[in-house]
Copies of this chain bind each other. A is one copy, B any other.
Amino acid sequence: MVDFESIRNKSIISAKKDIRESISEDNYIINAINNIDELTKTANTLTKRLRDWYALCLPELSKRIADNETFVKLVISKDRKELFQELKIKESMGKDLDKRELKPVKELALQIKSIYSLRDELKKYLETIMSSYCKNLFSVTGALLGAKLIEEAGSLKRLAMMPSSTVQLLGAEKALFRHLKTGARPPKHGTILQHTLVSSAKKNVRGRAARSVADKISMAVKTDYFKGKFIGDRLNKELEEKLR
């Protein structure tokens, strides 16, 4: 007699094993980049709140300091008097809050600072993984853009299987389907716009730049997936020559 129960149990165990063994660097990279994005968003929202709150004490600071990280650092490191001197303000619309009211504001600032530093650590972690797992991609795109591309493709394997024209448009799916459906102008680049050579290109050659960068990314990622040698430096050099 066939023991269905035992067959069922065995296949469940084997499926669980398959799932367990499918966990790889792809998953680490995707989780890390998702969290980096989330932490950046979080830090920005909380800094907005901090600006609001600190405005009770010194509204002039928020106007002068546009950069979020600098703003948080200043709130933590300097008190109101020092900031008066540094910004050369004579008259402020803010109230000189006493310690009890300032304490939660400073604590919020410290929290935001620690979110920033966690984000930086995750970046480093991402760099460590990528420099061993996909060193060519890493050298062409850097950690953040490379991880983002892997996240959008789903895995290094799927990214390696894509033609470079797909890589060029990853992240621009909405615009692409709008083009296919309504005949609007096709997108020239997706996430790849984050690459400095694309974003710094003049608008009329940006499409061309995106195409060249996508070419090299595609070559890099294929080399990584099929365990090729390190060709990152060569790719970067060719790219710079082409786009000069």
Q: Can you name 22 A-B residue pairings with CB atoms under 8 Å?
A: A16-B91, A16-B92, A19-B93, A20-B95, A23-B56, A23-B95, A27-B56, A31-B49, A31-B52, A31-B56, A32-B104, A35-B49, A38-B46, A38-B49, A39-B46, A42-B45, A103-B125, A104-B122, A104-B125, A107-B118, A107-B121, A111-B115
The 8 A CB mask of A1-38 against B (1 = contact, 0 = none) is: 00000000000010010011101000110011011001
Q: How many copies altogether?
A: 2
The 8 A CB mask of A88-118 against B (1 = contact, 0 = none) is: 0001111100001101100110010011001
Contacts of A107 in B (CB 8 A): 118, 121
Size band of the interface chain A makes with B: 35 or more
Consensus secondary structure, chain A interface: helix
Is A128 on the interface with B (CB-CB < 8 A)? Answer: yes
Task: Give me the interface of A with B, judged by CB distance under 8 Å.
Answer: 13, 16, 19-21, 23, 27-28, 31-32, 34-35, 38-39, 42, 45-46, 49, 52-53, 56, 91-95, 100-101, 103-104, 107-108, 111, 114-115, 118, 121-122, 125, 128
